[in-house]
Amino acid sequence: MSEAQSVSGEPGIGRELTAFQQNILVILSEEPRYGLAIKRELEDYYGSEVNHGRLYPNLDDLVEMELVEKSELDKRTNQYALTEKGKQAVLGQLGWIFSRFVTDAERADELRALVDAAE
């Protein structure tokens, strides 16, 4: 059974996160990034500017919740990486969403097609 299939269908800590914070976790699911790279990804997604005053306090909150790990790349640049707890938060949220979305075999096939396209 895959990890996605073993998720309980409960959002867990994901229910405490804002959509903005959840989007940060999803971005970090791909690979660790520095702050400005996360900012660019969010701006592409939202189609508008993301202020530093919004991004960095949310990153700090995610670090405090132990969902993201912060490390120093150099004296001016921090890198952010998803922790195992953060990965579980993303999987929990996806499991909850999927448990609501998949109401029949056709919808399950639609999700399988999305997963196959992403691989």
- Tell me: pLDDT of 1 over 60: no
The token duo for 79 is 């890198």
Domain extent at residue 52:
9-118
Query: Does residue 66 fall inside a structural domain?
Result: yes
- Tell me: pLDDT of 6 over 90: no
Query: Does residue 105 fall inside a structural domain?
Result: yes
Query: Does residue 112 fall inside a structural domain?
Result: yes
Reported as a single tens digit per residue, the pLDDT across 89-117 is 999 999 999 999 999 999 999 999 998 99
- Tell me: pLDDT of 43 over 70: yes
Mean pLDDT of 35-56: 97
Query: Does residue 4 fall inside a structural domain?
Result: no
Query: Does residue 2 fall inside a structural domain?
Result: no
Q: What is the structure's pLDDT at 16?
A: 87
Number of structural domains, the chain?
Answer: 1
Q: What is the structure's pLDDT at 11?
A: 56
